[in-house]
Amino acid sequence: MDFSNEYYVRVYVRDTTTWKRLGWDGQAVLVQLLRKMDMAGVLDIEDMEPWEAVMLHCGAPKATAKAGVDACLREGCIIHRDAQLVAPRYLEAQGLLRSLVLRARAGLRAASLAVRVAILDRDGWACRYCGVDLREVAPNIDHVVPVSRGGTSVMENLAAACGPCNRSKGARTPAEWLL
């Protein structure tokens, strides 16, 4: 098996109070969810309930999925927003920037993710339009001037945005959208 282009999930071995409060079901569900999330710490669950998504994606039995998801939501280890499960501060916890540097040194393509993280850092991990903390929701990168209107993917035309603002803005400029 070739692991050269795979990323790993960092799970701390220290038993924190939050970890202990999750109980066995919550601990099992959290570890499995972290394995299934994308590199931004997001799992799209569409129109499913969170526990149904855990059953589908993680193969957890119904009782474990329900109890585990309830514990993870209660302790703030995951957040259910829109049609997504989000792991708060996932990128920070994974040391993603260090991982990107190591991948780049290995000659792997990490440019698009590096640009995404650079934009989030530049914009202070806040939605440029409403100010919501993007560490708590799934971050989006918006084309300020939409590509369909001649906008390009240069840093100056990209902005950190939350999903609701990005979807609401659509193919409009900020001036048109805010009218």
Q: CA–CA separation, 175 vs 179, rounded Å? A: 6
Return phi, psi of residue 173, to 5°.
Answer: -80, 160
Residues 94-144 have pLDDT tens digits of 665 555 555 545 443 444 777 888 888 899 999 999 999 988 888 888 998
Q: If pLDDT is split at 50, 70 and 90, which confidence band does 30 have?
A: very high
In a domain, 10, yes or no: no
| Segment among 14-18, 20-24, 93-97, 145-149 with least mean pLDDT | 93-97
| Segment among 18-22, 31-35, 129-133, 137-141 with least mean pLDDT | 137-141
Higher-pLDDT residue of 54, 92: 54
Domain that holds residue 32: 17-92
Its pTM surpasses 0.75: no
Question: Which CATH number do you get for residue 157?
Answer: 1.10.30
Domain co-membership, 164 together with 123: yes
Please give the torsion angle defined by the CA atoms of residues 88, 94, 98 and 99, in that order, rounded to the nearest 10 degrees. -120
Q: If pLDDT is split at 50, 70 and 90, which confidence band does 10 have?
A: low
Tell me the H-state helices in the chain.
Answer: 17-36, 50-58, 62-75, 90-93, 96-105, 111-122, 163-169, 174-178
Domain co-membership, 69 together with 21: yes
Identify the domain boundary among 43, 62, 92: 92
Q: CA–CA separation, 85 vs 42, rounded Å? A: 6
Identify the domain boundary among 51, 72, 92: 92
CB distance 28 to 60 below 8 Å? yes
Residues 59-87 have pLDDT tens digits of 999 999 999 999 999 999 999 988 899 88
Question: Which CATH number do you get for residue 60?
Answer: 1.10.10.10
* Number of residues that make up the chain: 179
CB distance 106 to 100 below 8 Å? no
In a domain, 52, yes or no: yes
Other CB atoms within a 10 A radius of the CB of residue 94 amount to 19
Higher-pLDDT residue of 47, 115: 47
Is the confidence at residue 11, as pLDDT, over 80?
Answer: no
Identify the domain boundary among 28, 61, 92: 92
In a domain, 170, yes or no: yes
